[in-house]
Structure 1
């Protein structure tokens, strides 16, 4: 039987924020779009490739950036977004922590 290690309140809040940020199909699609592009994209480029409008894209990218799933780089009047691969790589550790399994550790 595994010894239970309590999940700290700070980790629980972080993990909940991550899951909440991913709890929308449009955000998952935007992450996939950015991951496939494998380069920073402007909001305009994302809008051209997504089936949603500019304000919706901006709203969802803001949420993803707050959760650090995407990185935003402001260049003049444009903001370029790219997937934060480091963050997505450690995301499975949140699931392992919830299941009380050992993970590789890391921070998003």
Structure 2
């Protein structure tokens, strides 16, 4: 885990929920804290394997996927676990262990916040 303090507005709350912040890029300049949050999300998605895993979870039925259902991305299982951990640390995924398997979920607030961040300001 990084030593970077996560701003309270995006700290995982009870039940491991995430709620990334940041206004649309075209609305106003981001604060240093907001830029850190956005950069962490985009950096995590900057790897093709992570982007595929994120997409697999987000598009999976019910918006949730067992690691056993999404691990066929051309890398070993330990590498899949590493990438999922990075996505989770970036606040993009939440997880829940159920027996032997871990289930991952993309919270709707994450997708909404990312969409909002990239929304153009009305002219």
TM-score (norm: length of structure 2): 0.64
Question: Quick check: 1:46 aligned with 2:67?
Answer: no
TM-score (norm: length of structure 1): 0.72
Question: Quick check: 1:21 aligned with 2:40?
Answer: no
Structure 1 unaligned regions, length at least 5: 103-108
Aligned residues between the structures: 95
> C-alpha deviations, 1:51-90, integer Å up to 9, x for none?
2221111011111111221111122443111222220111
What SS is found at the alignment partner of 2:58? Answer: helix
Higher gyration radius (CA): 1
Relative to structure 1, the CA distance from residue 92 to residue 36 in structure 2 (aligned partners, 3 Å threshold; closer, same or farther) is closer
Structure 2 unaligned regions, length at least 5: 1-26
Structure with bigger RCO (C-alpha 8 Å, 6+ apart): 2
TM-align CA RMSD: 2.2
Question: Quick check: 1:57 aligned with 2:44?
Answer: no
What SS is found at the alignment partner of 2:74? Answer: coil
Query: Counterpart in 2 of 1:91?
Result: 114
Structure 1 residue 13 displacement after superposition: 0.8
Q: Select 2:57's aligned residue among 34, 38, 47.
A: 34
- Structure with the higher fraction of residues in helix conformation: 1
